[in-house]
Amino acid sequence: MQIQVKRWQPEDAAALAALFGGVDRGFLSDRLPNPYTRQDADFWLSRVQEREGHSGVYRAIWAGDQLVGMVSVDQKEDVCRKDAEISYLLLTAQWSRGIMTEAVGQTCVAAFQELDILRITGQVYDANLASRRVLEKNGFVLEGAMKNAVFKNGRLYDLCIYGKQKEQGS
């Protein structure tokens, strides 16, 4: 399957709202609005336009003319400013096709080129084996786990901490 990983555009708001309406929220943050409205999408896209390339890298994942996912790398602040956090999601119907592995790879390259960072951190629920594998296939290393750190849908999870270092000379 041919995918394209593109910068977000303001006209992507309707597709973004539809994307959030179709994703499995089992491993997503509870802070994401549900339902996710066009107004939520407009707000987020305006934030992305301000931060793109300065303190974050934000990408839409397209398969043909359908928005199927997203991946973001947000630079941290203060004493952790050389680190950034990656997050991503993909429509359930597109799982297990290598789409997210490719999109994360492309986005990490862009983040290391565009942001003043030395590492990217990924935090993944221990039970989310597919997401853990996406990071591992992209050179992220499991650095540890925070026991019982996440409470989601009435269940406790360990939170696995992955890190990817910027390659020397990059």
Question: What pLDDT does 1 receive?
Answer: 65
Cα 119 from Cα 157, distance rounded (Å) = 25
The whole-number pLDDT of residue 37 equals: 96
Phi-psi sector, 34: left (phi>0), alpha (psi -120 to 50), beta: beta
Token readout for 137 is 């296939």
Which tens digit of pLDDT belongs to each residue from 70-119? 999 999 999 999 999 999 999 999 999 999 999 999 999 999 999 999 99
pLDDT at residue 123, as a whole number: 98
pLDDT-derived band at 2 (thresholds 50, 70, 90) equals confident
Examine the pLDDT at 169 and tell me if it is beyond 80.
no
The pLDDT of residue 168 is above 90 = no
pLDDT at residue 170 greater than cutoff 70: no
- DSSP H or E stretch at residue 84: strand 83-90
Mean of the per-residue pLDDT values of the chain: 96
Kindly provide the b/e burial profile for residues 129-143, where b requires at least 16 CB atoms within 10 angstroms of the residue's own CB. Answer: eebbebbeebebeee
pTM, rounded to two decimals: 0.95
| Rounded Cα–Cα distance for residues 104 and 86 (Å) | 9
Q: Specify the fold of 3-118.
A: Aminopeptidase (3.40.630)
Q: Where are the domains of the chain?
A: 3-118
